[in-house]
């Protein structure tokens, strides 16, 4: 959510920034509703002050005609307040509804562009392996090795579901453990195991609702939604709280399954485990002082990337242009790994600075040590990393000509010292 004061004072600036995103937002309506809201508020609060005073007098008066007259005068006042309140509620609801649909504004240094073609590669890291045979896609290798079972996944749960089996299941688990261990022991992240079911309120806080309600799974038994990412429960840990400035920055990492109802375009990304309704992810979430958020974004990017350095998997950093920014991000940089079998770059992380956009919705503030008004924190998050695509990257980059897969050195301690996955 944007600061209403910013929209009120600089509507033209806000409109121009949103135009860069290729989006539209009802800024004029918001300005008018805000004006009307304050107008009503001034009037109704004055009436309320009058009634408070009048009612106090009644309490002090003895029974009698004078008291009765005062009561009926106050009753009349009350009717006017009630009418104005109703109007105020309507204006308030309309204002909230519209504010919730306004996207975050891009940082000044985000390249302006119409769409994904204008994203900017910031750097490419690691050596792409040269194969002396034709590298094969993970769906072939995984099936042959018996570590990915597509058929049975579909039988149980429908299209886009699969099972990992044996060494495949263990490889994913090894990565999850190793990722978390690096974050917690070296990078200062505090591990969290969050709920996978959350209330509507939480999804509103991180801005999946109302804009992306259709992409969420809802339970039928109560106010519970399946989390699309650990970002939701972890960011909402501090919802409605006022933190001490000294507590910042707060770093959390969390492993969780993620559930997304998105409508996949038929015929696209159908093969393999690249895109599904359920996947695992280790997520990094930061709560930082506003002045630090830009630096923290690059730090976050490096904290996620160092996993790939150590896995010796080639990757690149891709900065989103304005036209490809998400609804919530002020700045977003993706990490993509090279998958030689699929012959494409795969997004394994999106590192985003949301500035105060989520904090404002969720009500996450801090008390400045120097005094003055409480401020909203800045929130950031990024995957480190998304598991299915990391499975693809390991399988395809570490494949051997005979169809076996060498286990990367850093993962071997987590694999019971197994060095290779071979056909059973």
Partner RNA sequence: GGAGAGGUGGCCGAGUGGUUUAAGGCGGCUGUCUUGAAAACAGUUGGGCGUUCAUCGCGUCCCGGGGGUUCGAAUCCCUCCCUCUCCGCCA
Residues assigned a catalytic role:
260, 275, 347, 350, 389
Question: What are the backbone dihedrals phi and psi of residue 245, each rounded to the nearest 5 degrees, phi first?
Answer: -55, -35
Instruction: Give the interface segment with RNA, choosing from 51-59, 96-104, 190-198, 226-234 (CB under 7 A).
Output: 51-59
How many Å apart are CA 386 and CA 175, to the nearest integer? 10
Q: Please tell me whether residue 370 binds RNA under the rule CB under 7 A.
A: no
How many Å apart are CA 415 and CA 267, to the nearest integer? 35
Question: Which residue among 38, 128, 271, 420 contacts RNA (CB under 7 A)?
Answer: 38
Binding mask 102-141 for RNA (x = CB under 7 A): ----------------------------------------
Residue closer to RNA, measured from CB, 59 or 64 = 59
Residue closer to RNA, measured from CB, 10 or 46 = 46
Question: Which residue among 6, 19, 49, 169 contacts RNA (CB under 7 A)?
Answer: 49
Q: Please tell me whether residue 289 binds RNA under the rule CB under 7 A.
A: no
Q: Interior CA angle at 387 toward 182 and 181, to 5°?
A: 15
Q: Please tell me whether residue 155 binds RNA under the rule CB under 7 A.
A: no
Q: Where are the alpha helices (DSSP H) in 100-230?
A: 138-145, 150-157, 167-186, 200-205
Residues facing 313 on adjacent strands? none
Q: How many residues bind RNA (CB under 7 A)?
A: 30
Q: Which two tokens stand for residue 313?
A: 């998997």
How many Å apart are CA 252 and CA 240, to the nearest integer? 18
Instruction: Give the interface segment with RNA, choosing from 56-64, 104-112, 151-159, 282-290 (CB under 7 A).
Output: 56-64
What's the distance, Cα to Cα, between the start and end of the chain in Å? 53
How many Å apart are CA 332 and CA 130, to the nearest integer? 31
Is the distance from CB of 261 to CB of 222 less than 8 angstroms? no
Question: Which residue among 41, 196, 243, 410 contacts RNA (CB under 7 A)?
Answer: 41
How many Å apart are CA 382 and CA 350, to the nearest integer? 5
Question: What are the backbone dihedrals phi and psi of residue 63, each rounded to the nearest 5 degrees, phi first?
Answer: -60, 145
Where is 74: in which H helix or E strand? helix 65-99
**Chain length of the chain:** 424
Instruction: Give the interface segment with RNA, choosing from 55-63, 145-153, 226-234, 405-413 (CB under 7 A).
Output: 55-63
Question: Which residue among 16, 122, 242, 247 contacts RNA (CB under 7 A)?
Answer: 242
**Computed from CA positions of residues 143, 145, 146, 147, in that sequence, does the dihedral angle turn out positive or negative?**
negative
Give, as ranges, the residues between 63 and 92 that touch RNA (CB under 7 A): 71, 74-75, 77-78, 89
The CA dihedral of 259, 265, 271, 276, to the nearest 10 degrees, is 0
* Smallest separation (angstroms) from RNA to the CB of 366: 11
Question: Which residue among 26, 27, 36, 58 contacts RNA (CB under 7 A)?
Answer: 58
Q: Which two tokens stand for residue 79?
A: 């009717």
* Smallest separation (angstroms) from RNA to the CB of 198: 12
* Smallest separation (angstroms) from RNA to the CB of 47: 9
Give, as ranges, the residues between 218 and 237 that touch RNA (CB under 7 A): 222-223
Q: Please tell me whether residue 367 binds RNA under the rule CB under 7 A.
A: yes
Q: Please tell me whether residue 51 binds RNA under the rule CB under 7 A.
A: yes
Strands (E), 217-291: 225-226, 242-244, 250-259, 278-288
Burial of 53 (0-12, 13-18, 19+ CB in 10 A): exposed
Question: Which residue among 6, 24, 29, 46 contacts RNA (CB under 7 A)?
Answer: 46
Question: What are the backbone dihedrals phi and psi of residue 225, each rounded to the nearest 5 degrees, phi first?
Answer: -125, 145
Nearest to 27 by CA among 37, 14, 36: 14
Question: Which residue among 11, 22, 26, 54 contacts RNA (CB under 7 A)?
Answer: 54
* Smallest separation (angstroms) from RNA to the CB of 155: 24
Instruction: Give the interface segment with RNA, choosing from 15-23, 42-50, 244-252, 379-387 (CB under 7 A).
Output: 42-50
* Smallest separation (angstroms) from RNA to the CB of 5: 7
How many Å apart are CA 384 and CA 186, to the nearest integer? 14
Residue closer to RNA, measured from CB, 46 or 190 = 46
* Smallest separation (angstroms) from RNA to the CB of 224: 10
* Smallest separation (angstroms) from RNA to the CB of 13: 18
Residue closer to RNA, measured from CB, 4 or 180 = 4
How many Å apart are CA 100 and CA 322, to the nearest integer? 19
Residues facing 262 on adjacent strands? none
* Smallest separation (angstroms) from RNA to the CB of 264: 32
Residues that bind RNA (CB under 7 A): 4, 38, 41-42, 45-46, 48-49, 51-56, 58-60, 71, 74-75, 77-78, 89, 222-223, 242, 365, 367, 373-374
């Amino acid at each position: 959510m944007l600061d209403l004061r910013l929209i009120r004072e600089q509507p033209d600036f806000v409109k121009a920034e949103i135009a860069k995103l290729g989006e539209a937002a009802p800024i004029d309506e918001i300005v008018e509703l805000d004006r009307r809201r304050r107008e009503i508020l001034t009037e109704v609060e004055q009436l309320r002050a009058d009634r408070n005073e009048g009612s106090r007098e009644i309490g002090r008066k003895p029974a009698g005609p004078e008291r009765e007259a005062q009561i009926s005068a106050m009753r009349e006042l009350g009717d006017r307040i009630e009418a104005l309140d109703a109007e105020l509620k309507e204006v308030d609801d309309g204002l909230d509804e519209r504010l919730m649909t306004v996207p975050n504004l891009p940082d000044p240094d985000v390249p302006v562009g119409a769409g994904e073609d204008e994203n900017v590669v910031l750097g490419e890291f690691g050596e792409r392996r040269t194969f002396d045979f034709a590298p094969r896609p993970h769906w072939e290798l995984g099936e042959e090795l018996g570590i990915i079972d597509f058929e049975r996944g579909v039988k149980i749960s429908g299209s886009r579901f699969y099972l990992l089996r044996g060494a495949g299941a263990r490889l994913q688990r090894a990565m999850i453990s190793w990722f978390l261990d690096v974050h917690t022991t070296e990078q200062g992240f505090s591990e969290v195991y969050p709920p996978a079911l959350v209330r509507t309120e939480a999804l509103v806080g991180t801005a999946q609702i109302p804009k992306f309600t259709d992409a969420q799974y809802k339970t039928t038994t109560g106010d519970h939604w399946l989390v699309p990412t650990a970002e939701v429960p972890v960011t909402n840990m501090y919802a409605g709280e006022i933190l001490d400035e000294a507590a910042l920055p707060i770093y959390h990492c969390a492993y969780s399954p993620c559930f997304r109802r998105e409508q996949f375009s038929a015929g696209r990304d159908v093969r393999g485990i690249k895109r599904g309704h359920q996947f695992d992810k280790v997520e990094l979430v930061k709560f930082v002082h506003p002045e630090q958020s830009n630096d923290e974004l690059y730090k976050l990017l490096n904290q996620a990337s160092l996993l790939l350095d150590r896995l010796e998997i080639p990757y690149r950093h891709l900065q989103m242009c304005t036209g490809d920014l998400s609804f919530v991000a002020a700045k977003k940089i993706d990490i993509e790994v090279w998958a030689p079998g699929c012959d494409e770059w795969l997004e394994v992380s999106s590192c985003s600075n949301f500035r105060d956009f989520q904090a404002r919705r969720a009500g996450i503030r801090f008390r400045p040590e120097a005094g003055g008004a409480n401020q909203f924190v800045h929130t950031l998050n990024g995957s480190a990393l998304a598991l299915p695509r990391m499975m693809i990257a390991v399988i395809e980059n570490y494949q051997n000509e005979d169809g076996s897969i060498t286990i990367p050195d850093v993962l071997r301690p987590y694999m019971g010292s197994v060095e290779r996955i071979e056909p059973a």
